[in-house]
């Protein structure tokens, strides 16, 4: 059963000043779940059962990126992918998504589908420890890729970059908790 759901964030304009952080207030046994109404305002990576947000951005200068581009979380953390601007997806490098496997063995692959409305969100709960590389389907040829490290680095993504762009090394992500796009690309 496909549990993926794409929602337009209710009250986006009212919460834009909170840097668009949205999530659910409790962990879920499901992997792809709709956004709840709680927020996590912590900086850096999330903790098990918490939530954190990655923005999908089309900049005024024509850059396409995830921010943060590198994120560390504990197993059980829900990551909300929020469309800040443009048309984007958050799609795991996995055979089920017609891509080379770059997620841990036994991990659930994810694919948000194309989010075209500003403020639209997609959530995925990361249960399996390891390194996950993902991309934006419409912009992967332009280097729109990201990395999430869950618990500790490991799996087929370790030791190489995604085929469509560069991401921070897993050790840097673990040490810093998150790596912003500006920090990585600057």
**Which residues contribute to the annotated binding site?**
136, 139, 144
**Which residues contribute to the annotated binding site for Cu cation?**
136, 139, 144
Is there a contact between 70 and 178 (Cβ–Cβ < 8 Å)?
A: yes
Query: Domain 7-185 is of which CATH architecture?
Result: Sandwich (2.60)
What pTM was estimated for this model as a whole?
A: 0.76
Is there a contact between 77 and 52 (Cβ–Cβ < 8 Å)?
A: yes
Q: Is the peptide bond before 68 cis (omega within 30 degrees of 0)?
A: yes
How far is Cα 121 from Cα 22, in angstroms, rounded to an integer? 9
Domain ranges of the chain: 7-185
Q: Is the pLDDT of residue 7 over 70?
A: no
How far is Cα 52 from Cα 2, in angstroms, rounded to an integer? 23
Phi, psi torsion values for 75, nearest 5 degrees: -55, 140
Share of the chain above pLDDT 90, in %: 72
Relative to beta strand 130-135, strand 145-150 is antiparallel
User: Residue range 9-29: average pLDDT?
Assistant: 31
């Amino acid at each position: 059963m496909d549990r993926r759901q794409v929602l337009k964030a209710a009250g986006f304009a009212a919460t834009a000043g909170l840097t668009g952080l949205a999530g659910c207030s409790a962990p879920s046994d499901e992997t792809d779940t709709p956004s709840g109404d709680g927020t996590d305002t912590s900086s850096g990576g999330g903790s098990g059962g918490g939530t954190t947000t990655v923005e999908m951005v089309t900049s005024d200068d024509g850059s396409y990126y995830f921010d943060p581009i590198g994120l560390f979380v504990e197993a059980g953390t829900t990551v909300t992918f929020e469309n800040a601007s443009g048309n984007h997806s958050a799609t795991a490098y996995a055979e089920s998504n017609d891509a080379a496997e770059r997620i841990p063995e036994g991990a659930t692959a994810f694919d948000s589908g194309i989010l075209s409305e500003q403020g639209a969100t997609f959530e995925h709960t990361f249960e399996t420890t390891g390194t996950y590389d993902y991309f934006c389907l419409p912009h992967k040829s332009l280097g729109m890729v990201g990395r999430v490290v869950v618990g500790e680095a490991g799996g087929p993504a370790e030791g190489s970059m995604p085929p469509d762009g560069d991401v921070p090394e897993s050790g840097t992500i673990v040490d810093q908790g998150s790596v912003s796009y500006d920090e990585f690309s600057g």
